[in-house]
Amino acid sequence: MELIRSISQMQEISASWKGSVGFVPTMGFLHQGHISLVQEAAKHHAILVVSIFVNPTQFGAGEDLDTYPTNLEHDLELLRREKVDYVYFPTKAEMYPADFKTWVNTEIITQILCGRTRPTHFRGVTTVLAKLLNIVRPDAMYMGEKDFQQLVVTRQMVRDLNFTTRVVGCPIVREADGLAMSSRNSYLSSQGRQDALCLSLAIARAEELTKSGVTDFKTIRSEMRKIILDHNGRIDYIELVDSTSLHHLDTVKAGCRLLLAAYIENTRLIDNTTL
Ligand code: AMP
């Protein structure tokens, strides 16, 4: 496994790929959610590239950029086990030099849901992904449905800017008790970790209601709200949307997605499901 630090070195390698390349962009502090993407990529590609970069531009003022967890040694150990070929680990200074002025901004679908609370977040995501696609030049990029809006926004950006990379969405990986795996779960106290279960419990309740024939979103949302409030959670949003356009829906129908963001202690967690 090669650890690549510089853009020119990565571009030199990617200019002459000999085989199909699967790419997994991450911010590190890896868990089984990330590894599931690597394992999916491994089924389809001869060459595996994983990037580790805590992208400063996707954090807003007052967010957790300075405290975002890292553990490079552990990350590299996990990636070595998966037989990853290249770990691309760029520096902030090289990715965003002092005279950096160009942003990739997908409109409208970045201002709803998570974009309401984090208005500059997706601009940071699409900008760094566009850069990474130009540097790594993969055939396919593997991303988690955990960050469902990010996946939809990325597909839109790739389509709009004619990147040839295929974007592959992979299912959410959960802890044994249901909590969606996230690097940010490490911020939670033991009580917070217990309370955080309310996200997956609320999602499970929505699934149960839908199975029993309830299709009215207001009814579903009010049941979910109760569960989250009962666990000391603070709701950012609970939304039912069309899974491609992200347009709001009032009733459960084919192709819809239920999305949820809530604060547990000071940590903002997200979860989602199809209904
Ligand atoms: P991050 O390091 O948080 O930027 O995540 C890197 C990639 O891993 C993104 O495509 C995430 O959607 C994906 N990911 C994070 N957590 C999970 C999870 N629990 N299940 C599946 N994918 C995940």
CATH number assigned to the domain comprising residue 215: 3.30.1300.10
Ligand 1 atom 17: residue of nearest CA: 33
Give pLDDT, residue 270. 98
- Examine residue 175 and state whether it is found in any structural domain, yes or no: no
- Examine residue 178 and state whether it is found in any structural domain, yes or no: no
Asked if residue 34 and residue 123 are part of one domain, the reply reads yes
Asked if residue 96 and residue 27 are part of one domain, the reply reads yes
Give pLDDT, residue 225. 98
Q: Domain range holding 87?
A: 2-170
DSSP notation for 116-174? HHSTTHHHHHHHHHHHHHHHH--SEEEEEGGGHHHHHHHHHHHHHTT--PEEEEEPPPB
As a whole number of angstroms, the distance between CA 44 and CA 30 comes to: 21
- Examine residue 176 and state whether it is found in any structural domain, yes or no: no
- The domain boundary, picked from 143, 170, 197, lies at 170
Residue 143 Cα: closest atom of ligand 1: 10
- Examine residue 257 and state whether it is found in any structural domain, yes or no: yes
Asked if residue 234 and residue 147 are part of one domain, the reply reads no
Catalytic residues: 34
Asked if residue 200 and residue 105 are part of one domain, the reply reads no
- The domain boundary, picked from 125, 142, 170, lies at 170
- Examine residue 189 and state whether it is found in any structural domain, yes or no: yes
Give pLDDT, residue 36. 99
Asked if residue 85 and residue 208 are part of one domain, the reply reads no
Query: Hey, is 274 helix, strand or coil?
Result: strand
| Residue with token string 């500059």 | 120
Instruction: Please list the pLDDT of the chain residue by residue as tens digits (275 residues).
Output: 999 999 999 999 999 999 999 999 999 999 999 999 999 999 999 999 999 999 999 999 999 999 999 999 999 999 999 999 999 999 999 999 999 999 999 999 999 999 999 999 999 999 999 999 999 999 999 999 999 999 999 999 999 999 999 999 999 999 999 999 999 999 999 999 999 999 999 999 999 999 999 999 999 999 999 999 999 999 999 999 999 999 999 999 999 999 999 999 999 999 999 99
Residues 259 and 241: beta-carbon distance below 8 Å: yes
Q: Which residues line ligand 1 (CB under 6 A)?
A: 26-27, 33-34, 36-37, 143-144, 146-147, 170, 172-173, 180-183
- Examine residue 92 and state whether it is found in any structural domain, yes or no: yes
- Examine residue 262 and state whether it is found in any structural domain, yes or no: yes
As a whole number of angstroms, the distance between CA 124 and CA 96 comes to: 11
Residue 146 Cα: closest atom of ligand 1: 12
Give pLDDT, residue 54. 98
Asked if residue 39 and residue 153 are part of one domain, the reply reads yes
All residues at 6 or more sequence positions from 110 whose CB lies less than 8 Å from its CB, including other chains:
121, 122, 123, 126, 153
Asked if residue 215 and residue 249 are part of one domain, the reply reads yes
How many structural domains are present in the chain? 2
Tell me the torsion sign for CA atoms 40, 42, 47, 53: positive
Residue 145 Cα: closest atom of ligand 1: 12
As a whole number of angstroms, the distance between CA 257 and CA 275 comes to: 6
Task: Return the structure tokens found at 45.
Answer: 């590609």
- Examine residue 83 and state whether it is found in any structural domain, yes or no: yes
Give pLDDT, residue 220. 98
| Residue with token string 């491994």 | 42
- The domain boundary, picked from 111, 138, 170, lies at 170
| Residue with token string 């967690």 | 269
As a whole number of angstroms, the distance between CA 58 and CA 192 comes to: 25
Q: How far is the CA of 143 from the centre of ligand 1 (A)?
A: 7
Residues 243 and 274: beta-carbon distance below 8 Å: yes
- CB-facing half-sphere around the CA of 209: CA atoms within 13 A: 21
Closest listed residue to residue 192, CA positions, set 184, 145, 261: 184
